[in-house]
């Protein structure tokens, strides 16, 4: 398993090295421009920040934390995450490695639920978190620190309601109160464990969710963390079977699909020394088939395991117990699905980018070669010609230069239109519009405390947000078409080798908005229950929706700004190159006019330049080929037991 991740990381690093070699060479050969550099930097950042996230989802007491310990942390010889009867994970817990923070646990207080901010909003506010350092050399201390994720406290009902953690319309809630009429709540809203585990250091992120009830009360899980996980392990228990709440969370929050695995844990509860091994296995298979039927899956998509026995077997190096726990089959399925699927996504993105990148650089080189060839043709045509012919060629080049300068005035007019359209684009999708629209919805919610009124306010919000993105998309199309006309004009009138402008689309952001709206609709769209708790829950959901939409528009604005800065870069680079070539052509012929004996020397010099450019072209293709080879490199899949 560790070697699977190591091979994926090695593949990724191979692509990074090939791309950096390309970046350094094109810079040294003066073949880079703002658009090229942006493309390369963006892809390097994508590779270096690449993460693989795995979410563990279940009702409490299904053995989530023990399963995480068994799969990822058995080599430490003890339980890293607390695991015991009852609820041990009280708040969503992420395990990852970020060297900027060092070994630590960052904890977000539950009181933050009283504000109109999602968990994601607080990630950029270090002061909001309580930080506990982890002493990696003291196992007992570290284990005690991990217990913070299960810490609870008792608060009055009014305080719990303020945090959205008490539903007064639920008839079962009063029986959960203690003798003083208080509610037990988690001490923390979210935990981030920063731990230098080899897999976490290579980009793995593990999400341990609390019980299913928390999935409803913490919208960040429903709207962001679980849907965006590359793999989701939905854990059931063999001793309880599939409960009603299990079915609801599977249908509403997970569902069948790539990277979605169902785990039937605690099969050791079915082990019986008074029954034969065949009978026990047959009973496990019946339970497996029943779970698959209820969740509309094939039996092979349900993995029976004993996380506790697997952990014990790994710690004690008991191969027989490990085999009986059946964990190897789950590990194999997890990593055989997770890593290739993630690699295919990254590979496709990079392949598309490389093709666009190399096309632009070859265009610049071909333009230089064409200029040299034209100058060689002119110089060779001067052999044996008199001064009047040379003077005529000088006048012809001068006319060509003036015509080119006249075209530049047309480009200035295009720039004015470009500036206007850019302003209109920002008007459609600016962050001020996003902020004002969020405030409008919150005001509408306050005016209408009925469930249907609140729901209509959110529905209208999605419609306006989509309309803003659609209007912005229309402006990007206008800009692209206008620049395309200019690119084609310069190509046809002056023989420039120009690829069309770098494309840009807001489709990814529309898709993200649609996915948020779909989750919202699934959660609230068909409900008719008019209760205070449902209104409060919807308001909490809207806080997270607003955070996700803000993030979506912030990224869209950033990408649009970067695109607008570089959309003219290839054209401007070719214009500069063409102006220099015209200047050099005129200068060369002027020198031939003044001293005809230097003609052959000039021809020799240009022929050497042509050879050098052809060599550069071959080297460029070689470096691009190296990136392609790195992207398409395969590694041998290892057995999870390795």
Decide: 163 and 111 in contact? Cβ < 8 Å. yes
DSSP bridge pairs for 206:
54, 95
pLDDT interval class at 472 (50, 70, 90)? very high
DSSP 303-359: EE--HHHHHHHHHTT-HHHHHHHTHHHHHHHHHHHHHHHHHHHHHHHHHHHHHHHHH
Inter-CA distances, 231 with 12, 59, 205, 206, 475, Å: 19, 18, 10, 10, 37
Q: Is 298 helix (H, G, I), strand (E, B) or coil?
A: coil
Q: Which two tokens stand for residue 62?
A: 């299904």
DSSP bridge pairs for 55:
207, 232
Decide: 65 and 82 in contact? Cβ < 8 Å. yes
What residues contact residue 14 under an 8 Å CB cut-off, 6+ apart? 630, 633
Give the pLDDT of residue 48.
81
Mean pLDDT of the chain: 81
pLDDT interval class at 89 (50, 70, 90)? low
Give the pLDDT of residue 79.
77
Domain boundaries of the chain, sorted by first residue: 1-45+341-382+597-631, 51-151+187-325, 386-596
Distance CA 592, CA 391 (A): 10
| DSSP label at residue 275 | S
Q: Is 223 helix (H, G, I), strand (E, B) or coil?
A: helix
Evaluate if residue 528 carries a pLDDT over 60.
no
User: Is pTM, for the whole model, over 0.85?
Assistant: no
User: Of 92, 331, 267, 278, which Cα lies nearest the Cα of 190?
Assistant: 92
Task: Please report how the helices 387-429 and 569-594 are oriented relative to each other, as an axis angle in degrees rounded to 10.
Answer: 170
Distance CA 182, CA 180 (A): 6
Distance CA 350, CA 627 (A): 9
Out of 3.60.150.10, 3.40.50.300, 3.20.20.210, 3.20.20.10, which CATH number does the structure's domain 51-151+187-325 have?
A: 3.40.50.300
Q: Which two tokens stand for residue 329?
A: 């089959």
- Greatest Cα pair distance, the chain, in angstroms, is 113
Give the pLDDT of residue 347.
83
pLDDT one-digit tens code per residue, 141-185: 777 888 888 888 999 988 888 888 877 777 777 877 888 889 888
Evaluate if residue 190 carries a pLDDT over 70.
yes
Give the pLDDT of residue 214.
53
Distance CA 370, CA 372 (A): 5
Give the pLDDT of residue 529.
47
Q: Is 28 exposed, middle or buried (0-12, 13-18, 19+ CB in 10 A)?
A: exposed
pLDDT interval class at 84 (50, 70, 90)? low
DSSP bridge pairs for 207:
55, 94
Q: Which two tokens stand for residue 15?
A: 């692509």
Phi, psi of 386, deg, nearest 5? -90, 180
Q: Is 467 exposed, middle or buried (0-12, 13-18, 19+ CB in 10 A)?
A: exposed
Q: Is 428 helix (H, G, I), strand (E, B) or coil?
A: helix
Give the pLDDT of residue 324.
93
Percent of the chain with pLDDT over 70: 85
pLDDT one-digit tens code per residue, 398-423: 777 776 676 666 677 777 888 888 89
> Among the ranges 75-84, 279-288, 385-394, 593-602, which has the highest mean pLDDT value?
279-288
Decide: 36 and 366 in contact? Cβ < 8 Å. no
Give the pLDDT of residue 605.
81
When pLDDT is averaged across residues 586-600 and rounded to a whole number, the result is 65
Give the pLDDT of residue 313.
94
């Amino acid at each position: 398993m560790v070697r699977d991740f190591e091979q994926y990381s090695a593949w990724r690093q191979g692509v990074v090295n090939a791309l950096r070699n390309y970046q350094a060479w094109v810079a040294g050969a003066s073949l880079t421009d703002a658009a090229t550099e942006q493309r390369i930097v963006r892809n390097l950042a994508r590779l270096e920040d690449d993460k693989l996230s795995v979410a563990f989802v279940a009702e409490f007491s299904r053995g989530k934390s023990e399963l995480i310990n068994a799969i990822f942390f058995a080599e430490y010889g003890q339980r890293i995450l607390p695991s015991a009867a009852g609820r041990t994970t009280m708040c969503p817990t992420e395990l990852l490695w970020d060297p900027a923070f060092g070994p630590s646990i960052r904890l977000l207080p539950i009181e933050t639920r009283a504000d109109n901010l999602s968990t994601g909003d607080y990630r950029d506010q270090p002061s909001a978190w309580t930080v506990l350092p982890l002493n990696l050399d003291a196992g007992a201390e570290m284990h005690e620190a991990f217990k913070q994720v299960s810490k609870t406290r008792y608060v009055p009902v009014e305080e719990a309601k303020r945090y959205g953690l008490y539903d007064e319309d639920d008839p079962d809630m009063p029986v959960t109160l203690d003798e003083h009429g208080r509610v037990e709540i988690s001490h923390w809203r979210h935990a981030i464990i920063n731990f230098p585990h080899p897999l976490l250091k290579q980009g793995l992120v593990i999400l341990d969710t609390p019980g299913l009830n928390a999935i409803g009360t913490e919208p960040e899980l429903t709207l962001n963390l679980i849907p965006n996980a590359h793999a989701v392990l939905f854990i059931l228990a063999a001793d309880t079977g599939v409960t009603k709440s299990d079915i609801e969370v599977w249908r509403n929050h997970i569902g069948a699909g790539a990277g979605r695995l169902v785990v039937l844990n605690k099969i050791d509860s079915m082990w019986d020394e008074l029954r034969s091994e065949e009978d026990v296995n047959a009973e496990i298979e019946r339970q497996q088939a029943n779970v698959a039927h209820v969740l509309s899956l094939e039996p092979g998509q349900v993995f029976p395991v004993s996380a506790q026995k697997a952990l014990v077997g790994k710690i004690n190096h008991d191969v027989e117990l490990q085999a009986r726990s059946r964990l190897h089959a789950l590990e194999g399925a997890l990593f055989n699905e997770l890593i290739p699927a993630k690699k295919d996504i990254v590979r496709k993105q990079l392949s598309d980018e490389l093709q666009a990148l190399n096309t632009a650089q070859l265009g610049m080189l071909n333009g230089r070669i064409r200029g040299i060839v034209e100058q060689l043709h002119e110089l060779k045509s001067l052999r044996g010609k008199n001064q009047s012919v040379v003077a005529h060629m000088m006048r012809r080049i001068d006319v060509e230069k003036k015509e080119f300068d006249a075209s530049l005035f047309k480009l200035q007019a295009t720039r004015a239109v470009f500036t206007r359209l850019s302003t209109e684009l920002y008007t459609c999708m600016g962050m001020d519009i996003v902020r004002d629209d969020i405030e409008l919805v919150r005001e509408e919610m306050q005016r209408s405390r009925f469930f249907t009124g609140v729901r209509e306010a959110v529905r209208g919000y999605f419609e306006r947000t989509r309309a803003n993105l659609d209007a912005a998309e229309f402006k990007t199309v206008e800009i692209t078409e206008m620049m395309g006309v200019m690119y084609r004009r310069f190509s046809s009138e002056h023989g420039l080798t120009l690829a069309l402008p770098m494309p840009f689309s807001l489709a990814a952001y529309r898709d993200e908005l649609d996915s948020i709206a779909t989750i919202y609709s699934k959660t609230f769209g068909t409900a008719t229950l008019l209760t205070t708790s449902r209104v409060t829950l919807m308001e909490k959901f809207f806080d997270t929706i607003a955070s996700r939409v803000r993030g979506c528009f912030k990224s869209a604005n950033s990408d649009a700004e970067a695109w607008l800065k570089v959309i003219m870069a290839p054209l401007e680079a070719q214009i500069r190159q063409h102006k220099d070539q015209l200047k050099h052509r005129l200068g060369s012929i002027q020198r031939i006019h003044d001293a005809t004996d230097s003609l052959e020397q000039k021809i020799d010099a240009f022929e050497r330049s042509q050879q050098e450019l052809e060599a550069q072209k071959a080297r460029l293709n070689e470096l691009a080929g190296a990136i392609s080879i790195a992207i398409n490199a395969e590694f041998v899949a290892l057995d999870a037991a390795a």
